[in-house]
Amino acid sequence: MKKRILSLLLCAALVLPGATPALAASLEEVPQREKAAVLRELEIMVGDETGALHLERTVTRAEFTKLLIAASPYRDAVGQSANTSPYPDVSFRDWYAPYVRAAVDAALVKGDEQGWFHPQDTITLQEGATMAVRLLGYQDSDFSTPWPAGQLALYHSLDLDQGVAAQNATDPLTRQDCLHLFYDLLCASNKSGQSYVNLLGHSLNADGQVDVPALFRVEQEGPIPLTGDWESLLPFDPAQALIYRDGERAELGDLRAYDLLYWAEDQAILFALSDSQDTMGQLTASVEGPVVAEGNWQSQLPFPVSQATSVTRNGLRATAGDIASMDVVYWSEYTKALYVYGKTVWGTVEAVTPSLAAPTAVVVAGVTYPLETFQAQYAFSDLGQFRKGDAVRLLLGRTGGVAAVRSLGETETLRQVGVVSALGSRTYTDGSDDPYAAHVATITAADGQQYTYPYAWKDADDLPLGSLVEVVLTGGKAQLTRLGRRSITGAVSQDAAQLGGVPLSPEAEILDTYGDTVAKTIPPARLAGVTLNADMVRYYDTDAAGAVTTLILDNVTGDLHRYGVLTDLEVVNTSLIVQSVLTFDLGGVQQVFPVSGRTFPAQEGPACLMLDGQEVKNARGLTRLRDVTLEDQAAVADGVAYPLADNVAYYIYNRTDDLYTLASRSQVLAERYTLSAWYDTKPAQGGRVRVILAEKA
């Protein structure tokens, strides 16, 4: 027996009185402009050649049938003209004939009792509603009442009437009525209970509305961050846009700084994501490139270099004129920003891993570099040109991996300066994969990276640990030569742009060293306000313009040492040797350091531990500042600000029990503690506050 739908709907309305109004309310919230954007995107109602929808016009039966098929799963079946006339008054030559034929085949439309379709008649509400519920899978046989009572009851029950102005069965439908009807149809469930829009491959959001961000995901362009002059980077006025933030409908005023912005240009829709680590990853992924600055490289950018809104080179603000030959250039098409990297590594290819068939990394000068781009992977594969033993120049990219590789000429000479941080031996293989042994020296270069080079056995005595060396690479072969001291003196300006009246390059490579094996790079800003004397500078270099580009320092900043609290110092004197045992709290962990044959000028309390590798070279106390306050990154005592170290250690001190407890800045500021600050040397000598002690007032 056929299912009778009308009585079932009436029962549902009695049992679930709140279900239908809730859905209706959600559809009423959808702006007409959003509905129009959805129907345009789904190519249901696209408008004329200018995009105008002419919503005031009435709709013929032929036009409605085209809308019906465009909103149906049968839309792809309409490709060719009908070769037969589906009705006496619908010729196969008519533009609408293929749509009528498809609708007839799908049992969506019927003619009158005489078999005529009347394509040019204005469609009425009862006719449109009937076709709509047929599209949802309901047949005329599902209704027990005479047409159109059952169809209209179902039309209203399914909320297909939301926004539709036509009320009476014989009222004509306008294009505006059709816009609302077909949007409501997308949000309705079919006879099987499935959301109709799912049949078209799309989805609804939690409110039962078409998920606009998901619908337009493929069309989205961007992203750009909401910062600076972001409005000018959009292809439309954001004040006139449909806006969604984190998937929810929003207004322009709901956007926040550093939101990530995507857009659909044709529909003027703006999609914003609130700032987070995930959005940062998306923004990073939107950067394109790279291209190497050589030849006609600028033609590969999507915009002229002269139109770049910003240029960043090696992390610093720059101009297009600062881009040098062989720099690696990335770009953001939408922000018109350039990101440039000028880091080069050179040496002999020692290995390609894991295989030539699928290389992911290359070893040069003892360092393994990941291959960042397909071009670099290809170059080192068995399909490319580079092999083990080749002299190469690696051009490093944004992630520190190899973005591109170039050959080193037989006569091309490159130079590097650093300190010897390790000596040893290593087994290499030659071009025939035969092994051979070589003495090697590991050099910590001024850029902070460690490189390992083989050197002649006869030169072993000339390369002690900690010594300054120059590495000259010619034709892939490295020559290591010991350097003498070359000092420069003077005060570094507060903007770190001058050293004793000599320009200090903003990209200067500065290496601070201690002992034989400890070295660390520092940025030029770390030396701001520091006066360097001859004992503090081991070596320097300048470029052709006279600007200092390389500095190798001798324990200037103190950042190479460890700081904490010396909790116990025991000295044992015997007739044979002096034994010192130092117990330090370093980062909340108690560590014991026994030292034979030496004593140190340290007392219990905040102190500095100076290690060279595993060897304790020195331990000394810090200087105290009493009754300090913390302001930003400084400790203020008697009106004088002392800068805090980046890794300043905070301790709460219980004087009664002589107990130090590691704490955080927020903890020492949360209660009424008296604070003291402990620094290594004065700021003008490179010093910083290393320890903050908090005691009960």
Clarify whether residues 115 and 174 are in a common domain.
yes
pLDDT given at position 20:
45
Burial of 230 (0-12, 13-18, 19+ CB in 10 A): middle
Domain range enclosing 568: 562-621
Quick one: DSSP state of residue 16? Answer: -
pLDDT given at position 92:
87
Count other C-beta atoms under 10 Å from residue 684's C-beta: 11
Quick one: DSSP state of residue 320? Answer: G
pLDDT tens digit string along 606-622? 999 999 998 999 999 99
Beta bridge partners of 156: none
pLDDT given at position 459:
62
CA distance 657 to 650: 18
Residue 316: strand, helix, or coil: strand
Clarify whether residues 689 and 573 are in a common domain.
no
Q: Are 208 and 154 in contact (CB under 8 A)?
A: no
- Local confidence band at 84 (pLDDT 50, 70, 90 cut-offs): confident
- Residue 416: inside a domain, yes or no? no
Phi, psi angle pair for 343, to nearest 5°: -90, 125
CA distance 587 to 18: 61
pLDDT given at position 535:
95
Q: Are 371 and 401 in contact (CB under 8 A)?
A: yes
pLDDT tens digit string along 7-41? 334 333 333 333 344 566 678 889 999 999 999 99
pLDDT given at position 25:
66
Clarify whether residues 574 and 675 are in a common domain.
no
Question: Is the pLDDT at 423 greater than 50, yes or no?
Answer: yes
Residue 426's closest CA among 416, 435, 413, 417?
Answer: 435
Clarify whether residues 227 and 330 are in a common domain.
no
CA distance 591 to 571: 16
Clarify whether residues 171 and 183 are in a common domain.
yes
- Residue 303: inside a domain, yes or no? yes
Q: Are 288 and 332 in contact (CB under 8 A)?
A: yes
CA distance 186 to 182: 6
pLDDT tens digit string along 299-311? 999 999 999 999 9
CA distance 31 to 147: 33
Clarify whether residues 518 and 596 are in a common domain.
no
CA distance 147 to 140: 8
pLDDT given at position 18:
36
Count other C-beta atoms under 10 Å from residue 621's C-beta: 17
- Residue 469: inside a domain, yes or no? no
Single out the residue in 522, 554, 586 at which a domain terminates. Answer: 554
Q: Which residues of 625-660 are buried (b: 16+ CB within 10 A; e: fewer)?
A: beebebeeebbbbeeebbbbbeebbbbbbeeeeeeb
Beta bridge partners of 571: 580
- Residue 639: inside a domain, yes or no? yes
Residue 136's closest CA among 96, 189, 215, 181?
Answer: 189
Residue 269: strand, helix, or coil: strand
- pTM attached to this predicted model: 0.71
- Local confidence band at 282 (pLDDT 50, 70, 90 cut-offs): confident
Q: What number is the average pLDDT over the span 96-115? A: 90
Clarify whether residues 634 and 587 are in a common domain.
no
Clarify whether residues 224 and 86 are in a common domain.
no
pLDDT tens digit string along 547-583? 999 999 999 999 999 999 999 999 888 767 888 999 9
pLDDT given at position 463:
85
Clarify whether residues 42 and 185 are in a common domain.
yes
What does DSSP say about strands 548-554 and 502-514: parallel, antiparallel, or unpaired?
parallel
Tokens of 315: 């992390």
- Residue 437: inside a domain, yes or no? no
CA distance 403 to 330: 11
Clarify whether residues 511 and 643 are in a common domain.
no
- Report the domain count for the chain: 6
CA distance 322 to 310: 12
- Local confidence band at 587 (pLDDT 50, 70, 90 cut-offs): very high
Angle separating helix axes 175-187 and 32-41, nearest 10 degrees: 80
pLDDT given at position 529:
94
Count other C-beta atoms under 10 Å from residue 566's C-beta: 24
pLDDT tens digit string along 426-480? 887 776 777 888 888 999 999 999 999 888 766 666 789 999 999 998 877 888 9
Quick one: DSSP state of residue 60? Answer: B
Clarify whether residues 12 and 152 are in a common domain.
yes
- Residue 602: inside a domain, yes or no? yes
Give the rounded percent of residues in the chain with a pLDDT score beyond 70: 95
Single out the residue in 155, 170, 199 at which a domain terminates. Answer: 199
- Residue 406: inside a domain, yes or no? no
Q: What number is the average pLDDT over the span 671-696? A: 94
Clarify whether residues 160 and 43 are in a common domain.
yes
Tokens of 340: 């440039």
Question: Is the pLDDT at 179 greater than 50, yes or no?
Answer: yes
Residue 477: strand, helix, or coil: strand
- Residue 484: inside a domain, yes or no? no
Burial of 50 (0-12, 13-18, 19+ CB in 10 A): exposed
Single out the residue in 233, 259, 283 at which a domain terminates. Answer: 283
CA distance 520 to 517: 10
Tokens of 193: 């209970």
